[in-house]
A = this chain, B = another copy of it.
């Protein structure tokens, strides 16, 4: 039977989960997979500041990456998070021919091209299933189950913190700030929540997901990003009346060599499978030319779900020890040259506008929209509870329109005397 030894870098939530699964399930894994995997080293910053040090035998711990690089471990599992020192540790290991398995979406989204080049040089493996969708096996589905397809769309909920907040706002009619505080108290949001609520975390994941799905590098800086901090309970009220839920979606679409990649609050119809994804759960649609729509749903984070994906990578790496399979096949730092970024994507838009309450206003707004090729599907007036009787709030649902047209229309609308404010602009998917 083949024997493999593993080092774990970082012993927080994910690291301890990986250690638990690899040790508690060792017999089952050996029995089913016919390989023996042993954890030989755990890297921590220091022995005194490490709260989980009691969870593994003391002799496994070390504080020097060089000790691990010099050791005979085959596979290094990186669960430290962040770019520094994760990036240099990963490079050191790959250059020493050690296979890397990581759950660190930030470092992969920013440096995978370096890592993959280093890995190919020494023949080491490089796996990162856990970086997108936590326990959901989304990347392996792309590489090992959808190979016959040209994937034309990826779309999903890939950040649990924001989905928890949006679910609460929708179901309890509460405001963003209020729910965020509660989420922080419960540990669903971090003390500094920026990475989640401003959509950075989702762009890291969408960069990885769309690069793999479309076989082209889509760096994070080409992704259109909007967070959820601007959403109000009025947005949810309007969405409900129109039969929609609001979700923070990551969307990638490919048509020929044109790709659009965007993360923003999105309205989805109540009947859409993504509408019923509640709380911290994640779900991702893949659309392939042969298979059509496939959706995967599960826990996008957490100790054991993430460990499930990491250990799956470790086992997969063991089975492919002779010839590792790289999850991408190009190594550009920039966007793949033969790809064109489609910034003028088309979408349905839900516009909530506060206007002067007098005859003719609606016609004027509609005319302005029409001038920019934005045609209306639904118009909804919430107005009767408006504080100021002079103004009313109107919600417009458009047919499919182009982003640049909508932005130009909004600029014109802002200049109209009868328009007090553009209260919100939320895109929708059907």
Contacts and interface: CB of A to CB of B under 8 A. Distances in A.
Size category of the A interface is 35 or more
When all copies of this chain in the complex are counted, the total is 2
Given A146-B308, A319-B325, A295 B292 contact: no
Interface string A308-334: 110110011001001001000100000
A129 B304 CA distance: 27
Nearest to A129: B145
Contacts of A299: 291-293
B148 A25 contact: yes
Interface string A7-39: 000000000010001100100110011000000
A135 B292 contact: yes
A148 B296 contact: no
A307 B25 CA distance: 35
B293 A298 contact: yes
A145 B288 CA distance: 20
Contacts of A271: 276
A311 B309 CA distance: 25
Contacts of A28: 150
Contacts of A4: none
Contacts of A312: 144-148
Given A21-B290, A294-B136, A308 B273 contact: no
Contact of A146 (B137, B144, B273, B302): B137
Interface string A146-171: 11111000000000000000000000
Contact of A297 (B273, B290, B309, B311): B273
A423 B423 CA distance: 55
A140 interface: yes
Could you say which of A32, A276, A291, A293 has the most chain B C-beta atoms within 10 Å of its C-beta?
A: A291
Contact of A32 (B147, B293, B304): B147
Chain B CB within 10 Å, residue with most, of A28, A148, A297, A299: A148
A63 interface: no
A137 B141 contact: yes
Given A32-B215, A276-B273, A294 B135 contact: yes
Interface of A: 17, 21-22, 25, 28-29, 32-33, 129, 135-137, 140-141, 144-150, 215, 271, 273, 276-277, 288-299, 302, 304-305, 307-309, 311-312, 315-316, 319, 322, 325, 329
7 contacts: A32-B147, A140-B141, A145-B312, A273-B276, A276-B276, A289-B304, A294-B298
Given A21-B148, A25-B150, 13 more contacts: A21-B290, A25-B290, A32-B215, A135-B291, A137-B294, A141-B141, A144-B312, A146-B308, A146-B312, A290-B305, A292-B299, A292-B304, A295-B298
